Amino acid sequence: MSGHSHADDSHSHVRHDHEHSHDHGHSHDHEHDNHFEPIEARVRALETILTEKGLIDPAAIDVIVDTYQNEIGPRNGASVVAKAWTDPEFAAWLADDATAAIDSLGFMGRQGEHMRAVFNTPEVHNVVVCTLCSCYPWPVLGLPPVWYKSPPYRSRVVLEPRAVLAEFGLELPDDVQVKVWDSTAELRYLVIPMRPDGTEDMTVEQLARLVSRDSMIGTAQALNPGAATDSVAAGSAT
């Protein structure tokens, strides 16, 4: 099975990715779903039992999860994006064979064996979802945020992508096409955001700080110079 792209204003084929038109002129409140999937419910129940027995420290677990979710993984992806911004040959390789290009930087592992990079342009904005479960490229983005796994995001971003992006604070011009890429167990996507203006003299390391986790999912754009912090992947609240 291959991944699919849903475009908000076309019925065309892009390579082998089928696009559907899903752009509605209305919005609903964006729910950051609070009810748990069965597996998450079992994990939380087990965590409660182990905590009550004094076998684990929830605070320590939270620190570990936060580190992998917001630091280690997204920093890898940010390095990929920054190199693509500064190295045209690497960007071309990334577009042609993302799996190999990412592997060349040492960022490969489970959940990232088959990758595709999709590049934002002034005409096209890409956003990623997994409508069936929560397939996510762990080696380059770390752990998926809670909202990415929630049923409201997984269903609504396909049906009304502009409304969902607006709820994340991302308002796109009407003439920008939104493409929604549906990840699967066989193929996962990495959004390459556009390089911000005014960054011509920045180093690769400085550019990487402009790349947030959410910009590589497609629910945000890269940060403007001066807005970056040492936490390159703070993204939206989980």
Per-residue pLDDT at 150? 93
pLDDT above 70 for 220:
yes
Q: What's the CA angle centered on 104, arms 6 and 132, to 5 degrees?
A: 30
The active-site residue out of 5, 134, 150, 236 is 134
162 vs 55 pLDDT, higher one: 162
Percent of the chain with pLDDT over 70: 71
The active-site residue out of 5, 79, 130, 212 is 130
pLDDT above 80 for 93:
yes
The active-site residue out of 2, 12, 133, 155 is 133
The active-site residue out of 5, 135, 215, 236 is 135
Candidate from 133-137, 145-149, 215-219 with smallest mean pLDDT = 133-137
Q: Is 236 a catalytic residue?
A: no
Q: Is 12 a catalytic residue?
A: no
Question: 119: alpha, beta or left, given left = phi > 0 and alpha = psi -120 to 50?
Answer: beta
Q: Alpha helix locations (H) across the chain? A: 38-52, 58-67, 73-86, 88-96, 98-104, 138-141, 146-149, 151-159, 161-167, 204-208, 213-217
Q: Is 135 a catalytic residue?
A: yes
pTM assigned to the model: 0.70
pLDDT above 60 for 25:
no
Q: Is 130 a catalytic residue?
A: yes
d(CA 204, CA 62): 30
The per-residue pLDDT of the chain, averaged, comes to: 80
**Cross-strand bridge partners of residue 116:** 189
Q: Catalogue all structural domains in the chain, each as residue range(s) with its CATH number.
A: 4-8+36-217 (3.90.330.10)
